[in-house]
Structure 1
Amino acid sequence: MTQARRALEWAVAGYALLLALAVTAPLLAPGYLLLRDAVSTPRSYFSDSALGLGESAPRAVPQDFLIAAVSPVLDGGVLVKVLLILGIFLAGWGAARLAAVLVPDAGPAGQLVAATLAIWNPYVAERLLQGHWSLLVGYGSLPWVAAAVIRLRSDDLAPRWARWAAVGFWVAVAGLTPTGLLLAAVVGLACIAVPGDEVPRPRCAAGVLAVSGLAALPWLTASAVGDALESTPPSGVLAFAARAEPGLGTLGSLAGLGGIWNAEAVPSSRTTLLALLATAVLLAVVAIGLPTLLRRRSAAPLLVLAAIGVLLPATLASGPGLSLLRALVEDAPGVGVLRDGQKWVALAMPGYAVAGAGAVVTLRRWLRPSLTALVCVVAVIAVLPDLAFGVWGKVTSVRYPPGWSVVAAIVNAAPADVAVLPADSMRQFPWAGPAPVLDPLPRFVRAEVLATGDLTISGQSVPGEGSHAREVQRVLLAGGSPAALSDAGVGWVVVETGSAGAIGDAQRTLERLPVVYRDGDLSLYRVGGSSSVAPQGKRIAVIVAHLGWLALLLVSGAALAVAAVRDRRQSPSG
């Protein structure tokens, strides 16, 4: 590799990093990401819930395990913000690298367009606002998975072990969350269809499935040995369906990489007819590149996958699709993973990005590649201006009041189940901004925090899976006796002052409990009950499964590093 070519590659990577920082700039300030589903705390612990053995289905493994393992040496808030920024950066850089593999004649100009499409789009904005930071890490891994499998199938100069290591590493990175892993596995399996005879398709498919299975061990094991099954009530299917935006039907919104179910988790520009213009611009860039891609058989699987990634969620959001999904969820609870249909639109990103790079090739007989790239990049950014600076300042760093650390230290000194008031899974703290957020307490303390998981979406109640938490909540809201709480295994009650939610007659119970700590934000009451934890055998099984995922991540990552050093040493310019 010549020094000039290496410099151009690093320039494209630098551009992707600048875009990622332009999106996440407010998170560079000290503090914690605390927005809707995104909850970061100074320190996390290996609680039953963190291992996927709580009452709720194991949706946050192995991310919670990783944060619990790293946060003793690196502040958990810093770790989450670094991973989020890396995920968005990797989406852009990976899209550029994928374009270099499939559309090499697009050059750096095409790679810049690909990076822009992968980072500057409604999907990134909406998932940021919803707080799905770990999903964005998986999203950022998708073009890397695609490129790794394509290189595995083709006559690549890299040794085969290094190419297998790339597949294992990027699938493991995507496996930080179950949805990310499923997305990566689908992309990897789709790319097996590309032409090539370096690694036969059956062996390639077996390898992708094997590494995907290893990366899935944490949540598969937790689901198998735990007491919680992913049970989605029929009401939840409609509440989480993809949503049409102004001037666009559901299909048009999804085709423009928008349409998240939560109308409050969208940038302001997507609530106006500017959404129509933005979608038209995005699809125009993609459409211009299609003639170039259709002449390249290696790009066909990604184009087919992009079509499926748009059409399938749109179908599931239709009347017949919702009826079918309801029936499937009732008969097979595991199908509940499909209920947030819009998240699967991520499958379209690699194909869209490569098509964006192809636009430079399509138009080069009329326009210089650099000019085409400039027009495409400016147009894509201009129609979604409020993705910049944390989606116009909505994604920021916040600081916990001092009382949170005090309460955590007291509870951690004598861990036992914690009941929380008001009775709501979501909180709105004056110090955390106007948007609701999941209660941070479960990740702040070593003990189990009882949470029902109930959600209210557009006035519709979607029940969670916390049956024990719901029973304890009933006792509290009815003003039950402290003895009833103690018998239920409750050791502490925390009242989070200032957040909306039901209190009921809980004051009658609290008046009979000793106050251990109180300030303007929190009140801590001692109950004294002894809670039970998951059997040691189950904890060991789940920890071993997590270590399997971690081994895949570290070993394949080390192999990739070795391959990179060898490549640099063997390079004539190295």
Structure 2
Amino acid sequence: MPAYSLALSLLVTAPLLAPGHLLLRDAVSTPRSYLSDAALGLSGAAPRALPQDFAIAVASHILDGGVVVKALLIAGLWLAAWGAARLAAVVVPDAGLPGQFVAATLAVWNPYVAERLLQGHWSLLVGYGCLPWVAAAMLRLRSGDGTSGPTPVWPVLFWTALAGLTPTGLLLAGIVALVCVAAPGAGRGRWMCAAVSLGASTLGALPWLVASVGAGSLSSSQAVGIHEFAARAEPGLGTLGSLAGLGGMWNSQAIPDSRTTLFAVIATLTLLAVVALGLPTVLRMPQAVPLLVLSAVAVALPALAATGPGLAALQATVQAVPGLGVLRDTQKWVALAVPGYAVAAAAAVVTLRPRIPAAATGLVYCLALIAVLPDLAWGVGGKVTTVRYPAGWSTVAAMINADPRPVAVLPPDSMRKFTWAGDAPVLDPLPRWVSADVLTTGDLLIGGQRVPGEGNRARDIEALVLSGAGADELARAGVGWVVVETSGASTASKAPGPDLDLPVAYADDDLTLYRVGGDHPDSQLRGILIAAHLGWLAALVIGGVGTVLALRRRRVAS
């Protein structure tokens, strides 16, 4: 099963095996990253990329950052397939290998994976890949693993911490773990299991909890984007049907071509038929019921949130409780449906076994799931691939890193369209390539609507630069460098910005670097944030070592 799961993962991500870096919408990888203020959550923006930026910064001191990101993405899909098979083995053992193959295929070959790949949510897909492992680990805690001693808690700690590479991944894993606490069993008690889940989630959340409170990045401004981030109905399907088929993402530009026509109806009906055929069998299995209930809720709530009253309620909630902007992209929570879908799909083999051999059913189901989403293969039809940075980027990064003072960047806005990076907009890679603080507003332009970010200081500096301020005025404002990305128009404007009367340190066809010389005091919270990230890393390492040792003991005992 690990080999089949890896084959599925590589079939999807094969273009990423080529040299180069992943640079697509929200996915940004650079040769090297640093423990800058932004990487530690001290930039004033919402800590959406913690602790992933910390992890990449540390790992890129050993391997090229592009290799690290691509490896983690491939591993995330591999874990999703393999974990779904393991979960099926725990919940529906009678399904055997055919059922496990179906579960593995469904976990990878679905619209959710395709859309999140196109949006560049590689770290979310790592968390997604951990969900079936979290479910299987918690169900084993509840039922016992058949050994003479108590079932170890280390797997729950490890998989929760790994899913916590991004805040959304951690929340998804924590929800799955708590839901599985409701399963019956003669192993660890429910209160004990709930405490393990909450403890693991708290350790995993330390980086962004500390950043949110200590660095003052909690904000209610994300309520502005509630309507733009709502789930979207696909052709021939209402919003509920799209979500039930694991599709319906808000960004219509990050959708596989096969989901933009009425073929989406056939694909959705095929996926739901595989799941529905397993329900008569899996509903008789008490361990599966919590996951099935979670699947229904994970589809229904985002659908309700896309209605008028749902949008109003969500907007009021995000405005009232700063920090809940993570809820606005409601379709991403449909990931919670996948563990339940996977065990139901595996159980379909058992349902049809009296009439059709299990191996034949498994083969047909796997082929059907792949056939109705053919363009997921090869990087979602070649759209998820690598790029090569122009040579000037390395030069500019090296110059800034030699004197890491705060950097202002033009053109305005966070998204770019580089002539050398394809047609899709991408996040500016400069903040992840330098050790200096890069001043970014975090503003997004979605469907003509500006969704403001939390970078208020960056917004003031940006206005100052655009006004044509001189070097002395910018230096007094704390600007050390100004970078104009001449080959990248922002998504809001065609031109990178005005001509600046500043000392030029470097210029080519892609970039112009101006030396200003200002500086800004370092944050006093760096030590605290590093300690919080080390807490997450300790949970990951200790959980991983404990899981390996527990597995070895089980094998020796058997």
Q: 2:57 aligns with which of 41, 63, 68?
A: 68
Q: Helix, strand or coil: the match of 1:265?
A: coil
Partner deviation per Cα, 1:423-452 (whole Å, 9 max, x = no partner): 121011111111100000000111011111
The one-letter code sitting in structure 2 at the alignment partner of 1:14 is A
Matched, 1:85 2:50: no
Q: Helix, strand or coil: the match of 1:523?
A: strand
Contact 1:35/1:395 (8 A) holds in 2? yes
Contact 1:152/1:160 (8 A) holds in 2? no
The one-letter code sitting in structure 2 at the alignment partner of 1:165 is W
Q: 1:505 to 1:216 in 2, by over 3 A?
A: closer
CA distance in 2, matches of 1:158, 1:524: 63
- Tell me the equivalent position of 2:22: 33
Q: 1:160 to 1:184 in 2, by over 3 A?
A: farther
Matched, 1:473 2:462: yes
CA distance in 1, matches of 2:223, 2:165: 28
Q: Helix, strand or coil: the match of 2:40?
A: coil
Matched, 1:546 2:533: yes
**Please, which runs of 5 or more residues in structure 1 have no aligned partner?**
1-11
Q: 1:186 aligns with which of 161, 175, 188?
A: 175
- Tell me the equivalent position of 2:481: 492
Q: Helix, strand or coil: the match of 2:483?
A: strand
- Tell me the equivalent position of 2:517: 528
Q: 1:418 aligns with which of 407, 410, 413?
A: 407
Q: 2:554 aligns with which of 526, 545, 567?
A: 567
The one-letter code sitting in structure 1 at the alignment partner of 2:534 is L
Partner deviation per Cα, 1:111-159 (whole Å, 9 max, x = no partner): 0000000000000000000000000000000000000000001131257
- Tell me the equivalent position of 1:286: 275
Matched, 1:231 2:217: no
CA distance in 1, matches of 2:281, 2:250: 34
Contact 1:479/1:504 (8 A) holds in 2? no
- Tell me the equivalent position of 1:135: 124
Superposed, 1:169-180 pairs within 5 Å as 169-180=158-169
CA distance in 2, matches of 1:131, 1:291: 37
Q: CA deviation at 1:532?
A: 2.4
The one-letter code sitting in structure 2 at the alignment partner of 1:141 is C
Tell me how large the CA RMSD over aligned residues is.
Answer: 1.3
Q: CA deviation at 1:454?
A: 0.7
Q: 2:545 aligns with which of 558, 567, 573?
A: 558
Q: Helix, strand or coil: the match of 1:420?
A: strand
The one-letter code sitting in structure 1 at the alignment partner of 2:312 is S
Q: 1:160 to 1:396 in 2, by over 3 A?
A: farther
Contact 1:44/1:443 (8 A) holds in 2? yes
- Tell me the equivalent position of 2:335: 346
The one-letter code sitting in structure 1 at the alignment partner of 2:6 is L
- Tell me the equivalent position of 2:133: 144
Partner deviation per Cα, 1:25-51 (whole Å, 9 max, x = no partner): 000011101000000011111111100
Q: Helix, strand or coil: the match of 1:213?
A: helix
Contact 1:420/1:495 (8 A) holds in 2? yes
CA distance in 1, matches of 2:428, 2:343: 40
Partner deviation per Cα, 1:371-427 (whole Å, 9 max, x = no partner): 101111111100100000000000001111111111011001111111111112101
Q: 1:359 aligns with which of 338, 342, 348?
A: 348
The one-letter code sitting in structure 1 at the alignment partner of 2:266 is L
Q: Helix, strand or coil: the match of 2:226?
A: helix
Answer with 329-338 or 76-85: which moved more: 329-338
Superposed, 1:86-101 pairs within 5 Å as 86-101=75-90
CA distance in 2, matches of 1:394, 1:181: 28
Superposed, 1:123-272 pairs within 5 Å as 123-158=112-147, 163-272=152-261
Contact 1:151/1:163 (8 A) holds in 2? no
Q: CA deviation at 1:162?
A: 5.8
Superposed, 1:373-412 pairs within 5 Å as 373-412=362-401
Q: Helix, strand or coil: the match of 1:333?
A: coil
The one-letter code sitting in structure 2 at the alignment partner of 1:555 is I
Partner deviation per Cα, 1:441-495 (whole Å, 9 max, x = no partner): 0001110111111111111111111111111111122222222211111111111
Contact 1:63/1:177 (8 A) holds in 2? yes
Q: CA deviation at 1:549?
A: 0.8
CA distance in 2, matches of 1:424, 1:540: 30
CA distance in 1, matches of 2:56, 2:467: 37
The one-letter code sitting in structure 2 at the alignment partner of 1:234 is A
Q: CA deviation at 1:13?
A: 1.4
Answer with 157-166 or 197-206: which moved more: 157-166
Q: CA deviation at 1:498?
A: 2.0
Matched, 1:444 2:433: yes
Partner deviation per Cα, 1:548-570 (whole Å, 9 max, x = no partner): 11111101101111222333344
CA distance in 2, matches of 1:531, 1:155: 55
CA distance in 1, matches of 2:27, 2:63: 18
Contact 2:54/2:533 (8 A) holds in 1? yes
Q: 1:458 aligns with which of 436, 447, 450?
A: 447
CA distance in 2, matches of 1:289, 1:258: 21
The one-letter code sitting in structure 1 at the alignment partner of 2:529 is V
- Tell me the equivalent position of 2:498: 507
CA distance in 2, matches of 1:506, 1:244: 37
Q: Helix, strand or coil: the match of 1:489?
A: coil
CA distance in 2, matches of 1:430, 1:76: 22
- Tell me the equivalent position of 2:100: 111
Partner deviation per Cα, 1:83-126 (whole Å, 9 max, x = no partner): 00000010000000000001001000000000000000000000
The one-letter code sitting in structure 2 at the alignment partner of 1:566 is R
The one-letter code sitting in structure 1 at the alignment partner of 2:320 is D
Q: Helix, strand or coil: the match of 1:261?
A: coil
May I ask how many residue pairs the two structures share in their alignment? 556
Contact 1:421/1:503 (8 A) holds in 2? no
CA distance in 1, matches of 2:271, 2:521: 53
CA distance in 1, matches of 2:106, 2:556: 34
Q: CA deviation at 1:515?
A: 1.0
- Tell me the equivalent position of 1:59: 48
Partner deviation per Cα, 1:285-338 (whole Å, 9 max, x = no partner): 000000001111110000000001100111111110001111111111222111
State the identity %: 63
Matched, 1:120 2:109: yes
Superposed, 1:43-58 pairs within 5 Å as 43-58=32-47
- Tell me the equivalent position of 1:277: 266
Q: Helix, strand or coil: the match of 1:238?
A: coil
Q: CA deviation at 1:160?
A: 5.7
Q: 1:56 to 1:159 in 2, by over 3 A?
A: farther
CA distance in 1, matches of 2:262, 2:147: 48
Q: Helix, strand or coil: the match of 1:301?
A: helix
TM-score by length of 2: 0.98
Q: Helix, strand or coil: the match of 2:16?
A: helix
CA distance in 1, matches of 2:421, 2:272: 36
The one-letter code sitting in structure 2 at the alignment partner of 1:265 is A
CA distance in 2, matches of 1:505, 1:342: 33
Q: Helix, strand or coil: the match of 1:262?
A: coil
Answer with 361-370 or 198-207: which moved more: 198-207
CA distance in 1, matches of 2:37, 2:532: 14
Q: CA deviation at 1:233?
A: 4.0
